[in-house]
Amino acid sequence: MKKANWFKFGMGVLVGLVVLWFTVNRYQQVNANSHQTIKIVKIYQDQIIHQPAVNFSFHQVHVKRKSANYQVSARFTIKQVDPLSYGDRGVNYNFWENLRLVIPYSMLGVAQVHNLDGTAIKYQSMTNTKTHDVLLKFLIPNEQFNLRSERPYLLFMVPSKNGYIKYELEL
């Protein structure tokens, strides 16, 4: 090789090492103060979960195949004693931001949340400490649902002092 080619090669390696060093350094800075833990708890249908700020349970979970979609529906009962940091946006009562249908190695489904009579939920009605029954619906395309490698599950992430508790209900 000529001197010019060796010089270009050496400069390329040097630039690559500098970029790698900055990337590793930035990664360590971003994750240095992350002491959150995520605890996974498997639950079952009709089990009432008691937490200091929220009590909840899943009832009447159904999976139905429609023509082009699978529809997963469930009745979700919740009593919020105190607001939590749902959706990482400070304290609020938007529990539906932490509800997902997880299809392993395929996709996450976001819930459509309604009152049992089909009307939209009003945020103001969730700010009291009464028990609320809501209907969760997930529409998943057939091809996405069929790509799963494990059983799908409903996921509700409840913020805690040290991170999150992931409650998983297998379908």
pLDDT by residue (tens digit) across 109-124?
Answer: 777 888 888 888 877 7
pLDDT in tens, 54-103: 889 999 988 888 888 888 889 988 888 877 877 767 777 778 888 888 88
Residue written as tokens 């833990």?
37
Let me know if residue 98 belongs to a domain.
Answer: yes
The whole-angstrom separation of Cα 149 and Cα 13 is: 41
Half-sphere exposure of 37 (CA within 13 A, CB side): 6
Q: Which domain holds residue 51?
A: 37-170
CATH of the domain at 166: 2.60.40
Let me know if residue 86 belongs to a domain.
Answer: yes
Q: How many domains would you assign to the chain?
A: 1
Let me know if residue 112 belongs to a domain.
Answer: yes
pLDDT in tens, 11-51: 888 999 999 998 888 888 777 666 677 888 899 888 988 88
Let me know if residue 24 belongs to a domain.
Answer: no
Three-state SS for 171?
Answer: coil
| b/e burial code for range 89-112 (CB count within 10 A of at least 16 → b) | eeeebbbbebbbbbbeebbebebe
The whole-angstrom separation of Cα 46 and Cα 55 is: 12
Three-state SS for 60?
Answer: strand
Let me know if residue 28 belongs to a domain.
Answer: no
Does the pTM surpass 0.85? The reply is no
Residue written as tokens 């607001």?
83
Let me know if residue 9 belongs to a domain.
Answer: no
